[in-house]
Chain A
Amino acid sequence: MERISPHQFMTLGAAVLMGTTFLPVASMVTGVGGRDGWMSVLPGIAVGIPYGLMVISLLEQYPRKNLLQISETLFGKWIGKIIGVFYISITGYFGGLLLGQAGDIYEVSIMPLTPLGMFYLGGLLLVFYLVWSGIEVFARFSEVIFPIIIIAMVLNIGLSIPRVEQGELMPILSEGIKPLFRGGIKVLPFAMEYILFLAGILSFLPTGKKELGQLKTGVWRAVFLVGILDMLVVLIQILVFGPAETIRLVYGLLVLGKMVEVSRTVAGVESLFLGVWLGALVIKVSAFFFTVTWGLETVFSLKGLKWNLAVGVVFMGIAFKFTRGPSLIMEIGLVDNYLIFPFASIWILTLWGVSRWKKGAGIQ
């Protein structure tokens, strides 16, 4: 059985949680939270901490089992399998949509004439290779790529500071704190995407007492790191574009990347940023590919190359179904808000609650 270390769990978790959230997050939270939307990002993503800790506590109780197996144990075989079918369907559909987003991002920004299928195929081949290599290689891939993603993002934010407009952040909290709640709700699904990945990766995590402590710390660190980075991404966009433009821009950070100039000499570095962000997208799509394969193995005992190929074909099919960019963006939002968020939040809470109750009542 493959195993990943607590450090790999932290970086992999952070990379999956981040994914490409930094691209739509500013438009999403500013759209509902206005000028103060940036303040809602960290608290919204921080909801991942209690949920992550619940998942780790379930691991403590049921070592080397993923949440689908634990669900079968706690809720019975059939309910467990129904949950598994939901899990596979939602994560598979979402993974396919994210693969589609790879095409949308690159077609919109730097390669408008390249057929979408090439982006899907190129992305999927990388994903397939990672899935084929196993969770250990995937974790190592994240350990290498994630710091580069962070550096690219920090550079993009930092080099955009000369473009900051006077006073765009003010007034603060002029509309009270209600907009913050609305913004927070928008980012909650990001945390739940992460939780769905944790639900599957559990069986690859160490279960020693010391390691469990490190895993809990890993959850905290991953959530705070991504929450702070996403918050800074929103903040810089509001500072540079103002709230009205931040809402209007589909991929605001890409536009910022295009505005980066160093000493009026170096410009056009957005392609470098985009190259790095392909890594983020591949990590996120791979994570959901993994969740589907884990689900198929747990619920239907289906595993092996042919089933992986089948998942790949499904991902491609979903991506090809949404070749219209605006429809794709809307669909990702709908799946986030109305499938991932309610499913993950209710499932994990119920599972954790039932396990606590059964433990308290002495039922195994």
Chain B
Amino acid sequence: MKRTNSKPKIGLVLILITCHLFLTGCWGKREVEQLAPLIGEGFDLGEKPGTFLITQQFAKPKTGGETGAEIEDRTFSVEVSNARESIEKISRVTYRTPFMGSLKVIVISEDAAKAGGFNDILDFGQRYSEFRRSMYLVLAKGKAQDILNLKLRAGLLPAMAIKNNIEGADELSSFPTVRLGHYLTILGTKSTAPILPVVESVKTGEGIKYKADGTDEAGEIRIQGAGVLRGDRLVDFLTDEETKGYMWLENYVIHRYIDTVDLEENSVKFGGQVLRSSTKYKVKANNGKIELQYQIKASIAVDEVLGLKKQLSGAEWVELMKGAEKSFAKVIEKECELSIKKERELGLDFLGIGRHIEQRNSAYWKTIKDHWEEEIKDFPISLDVQVTVHHTGMSSSSAINSGGEGQE
């Protein structure tokens, strides 16, 4: 186009400026002070059939707080048939517009998970654009509402406490981290059963003691174990050890504390930290049958030696640590075997064995995928665990009691 006539150009510029003035209004614009950031959400079964009790935990910046990061708890529960309805009902009392982009944790109660069908109520979370798929999913022992209404001794919102526990879990690697996106991806595989970590409230004396504030209410929160689902229906819980086995087998162990105290065969026991670990999978033929072999390699730093009665020479210390490697390997094997046993009992492939077979021998997978749940029960699985003790801390051997007391 030639630019010979300047009048249309001036007109165009005027139109642009005028429209620009309107565009800056941005329909739907909301000032940040008017937003109620949603931090946690809980799903329980409602009293009426087909309804859910949805609990939403909002963060409200504390006025006059010592730091700008202090927040107050604003938690509401409503019985609704869908998630949108909960937003409407809660918006009427929050005085501010709920903002979903800040949601960190969704807590699904044991009952709601056992009844199944919570994917319907999750649909809003994966469809509405404000939500992020990076939010965490957890199962609650008991009611989700109770978990989110806890008054924690640390003063944290329960949703934030759960989030912090999950995000610090790399040091423990004792439960899986499940984000909404991961859960949906696992559902998409069809052969793998989803698994969610379990959160529970902890009263003093329930595995740990603390100075309670005088009430019978729990003041702490703990994530331990996991729940196995068939689709969106909870089938069973995994114990702490079974969950740890899952973590090894699924290559999710980053760092971990581990000890050999429960092994009966050795008098000297060890405690240590897993520095790194990797799990590889091999699908191979063994006596004419296809089997899956897990190859787990772990590097451990021994930082506790128990029951050593005498000072050892350098060579003896080396031999002892070789024994420690075998002991740690046995502990890992035991945890993995418990997890595999549970998988066979449930007939549900929460370990994703089917996917490992499909990835490495897709032709064979095609022959068994239609009756995979039957195959799980006796599908050959072997373990090859190799542990290397990288170091034994700041000292060799151990401090020995002076002669007499406590000394054999």
Contacts and interface: CB of A to CB of B under 8 A. Distances in A.
Interface of A: 108-115, 118, 121-122, 125, 128-129, 131-134, 163, 165-168, 170-171, 174, 240-245, 248, 255, 258-259, 261, 264, 267-268, 293, 303, 305, 308
B188 interface: yes
A328 to B, nearest CB: 17
B151 interface: no
B15 interface: yes
Interface stretch (B22-30, B142-150, B194-202): B22-30
A111 B29 CA distance: 8
B19 A122 contact: yes
Nearest to B358: A171
A174 B207 CA distance: 49
B1 A132 contact: yes
B182 interface: yes
Contacts of B382: none
A131 to B, nearest CB: 7
Given A118-B23, A122-B19, A171 B362 contact: yes
Q: Lowest 6 CB-CB distances: which A-B pairs, in order?
A: A113-B28, A244-B188, A174-B362, A170-B359, A114-B27, A171-B362
A261 B134 CA distance: 9
**What's the dominant secondary structure at chain A's contact region?**
helix
B182 A165 contact: yes
B358 A242 contact: no
A165 B251 CA distance: 12
A108 B26 contact: no
A308 B189 contact: no
Contact of B101 (A133, A248, A255, A268): A268
B46 interface: no
B256 interface: no
Given A165-B185, A259-B181, A267-B132, A118 B16 contact: no
A293 B182 CA distance: 48
Contacts, number: 95
A56 to B, nearest CB: 25
The winner among B22, B26, B188, B363 for most chain A CB atoms within 10 A is B188
B188 A245 contact: yes
A171 B359 CA distance: 4
A244 B184 CA distance: 9
Contact of B129 (A108, A128, A167, A261): A108
9 contacts: A111-B27, A112-B28, A167-B355, A241-B181, A255-B133, A259-B134, A261-B134, A264-B167, A303-B1
Contacts of A255: 133
A261 B286 CA distance: 45
Nearest to B11: A305
Interface residues of B, number: 37
Contacts of A113: 27-28
Given A112-B129, A255-B133, A245 B185 contact: yes
Interface of B: 1-3, 8-9, 12, 15-16, 19, 22-23, 26-28, 101, 129, 132-134, 167, 181-182, 184-185, 187-190, 250-251, 355-356, 358-360, 362-363
B207 to A, nearest CB: 29
Given A165-B185, A174-B362, A241-B185, A258 B26 contact: no
A111 B12 CA distance: 26
Contacts of B22: 118
Contacts of B190: 244
Contacts of B15: 125
Contacts of B360: 170-171
Given A170-B359, A171-B358, A305-B8, A121 B19 contact: yes
Given A125-B15, A261-B134, A134 B28 contact: no
A111 B16 contact: no
A258 B27 contact: no
A242 to B, nearest CB: 4
B133 to A, nearest CB: 5
Given A121-B19, A132-B9, A259-B181, 19 more contacts: A111-B28, A112-B28, A112-B129, A114-B26, A129-B12, A132-B8, A167-B359, A170-B358, A171-B359, A171-B362, A174-B358, A174-B362, A240-B181, A241-B188, A242-B189, A243-B188, A245-B184, A303-B1, A308-B1
Contacts of A264: 167
A166 B133 contact: no
Contacts of B27: 111, 113-115, 118
B185 A168 contact: yes
B1 A258 contact: no
B14 to A, nearest CB: 11
A171 B283 CA distance: 13
A258 B23 contact: no
